[in-house]
Amino acid sequence: MADWHDPRAESGAAAARPAVVTLRGVRKAYNAGTPIETEVLHGIDLDLMQGEFCAVMGPSGSGKSTLLNIIGLLDRPSSGTVTVCGEHTGELDDRSLTRLRGHSIGFVFQYHHLITAFSALENVMMPMLGAAGFADEAMRERAAMLIDSVGLRDRQHNGAANLSGGQQQRVSIARALAMNPALLLADEPTGNLDTRSADEVFSLLRKFNREHSTTVLFVTHNPTLAARCDKIIQVVDGQLTR
């Protein structure tokens, strides 16, 4: 399969941006070596450049989630190479993959996965606490800044269970940005939200993308939101199509 290429001409400035993610010949098969072996991804070539905001679309079962898991270093390919932030991940052990994922990749899912017994502020602190092993004032200040940036300053001490669905998803975005990742993977983050909340969540992701040059990969079934992205990656039967 040929390398994915945005049909729109790239400017010189865009072409000069570094690649945050590079996939070459990535294949993924389950039950490998057995009579029921099933290959889900078929030789994926993909480049995600710094500051790009890309939509991923495709029917259910097309391989979108598998592709996202491999880019997010939650799964390894059966063959091919995956490079994230300049590191060739095939050469890394599980501990090194965890370190790279924790420092370079943020995740926002369809369900917020907040710890409901904790406040919004405490939830945003979790990635920083996990990396350092202890809490300090700098973490609290960064978490408070991120909570403020998603418009929830007056709710930062509220328990996560007491927030609306849209507010919970805002907190999950703030949490995903806690480590200032180069790459943000958003897997149907607006799927459970009403139209207004979905638009607000999308606008927040776009804001961080533009202000911090964060690369965003946004999986969605919503063509209206996809049309607002820089480019659309279509996944059909385990391959990228135009």
Residue at 156 is within a domain: yes
Residue at 69 is within a domain: yes
Residue at 117 is within a domain: yes
Residue at 6 is within a domain: no
pLDDT tens, 151-165? 888 999 998 889 988
Residue at 11 is within a domain: no
Strand-by-strand arrangement of the 183-187 sheet = 105-109, 183-187, 215-219, 53-57, 231-236, 239-241
pLDDT at 96: 94
Q: If you average pLDDT over residues 167-186, what whole number do you get? A: 91
pLDDT tens, 110-138? 777 889 889 999 999 988 876 666 667 88
The pTM score is 0.84
Q: Does residue 58 contact residue 234 with C-beta atoms inside 8 Å?
A: yes
Q: What is the DSSP string of 71-90?
A: HTTSS--SEEEEEETTEEGG
Q: What percent of the chain has pLDDT over 70?
A: 91
Location of structure tokens 């994922």: 101
Query: Domain limits at 59?
Result: 51-76+98-241
Residue at 141 is within a domain: yes
Residue at 199 is within a domain: yes
> What CATH number does residue 60 fall under?
3.40.50.300
- Contacts of residue 175, defined as CB under 8 A and 6 or more positions apart, other chains included, come to 106, 114, 123, 124, 126, 127, 146
Q: If you average pLDDT over residues 15-31, what whole number do you get? A: 90
Residue at 103 is within a domain: yes
State how many domains the chain has.
Answer: 1
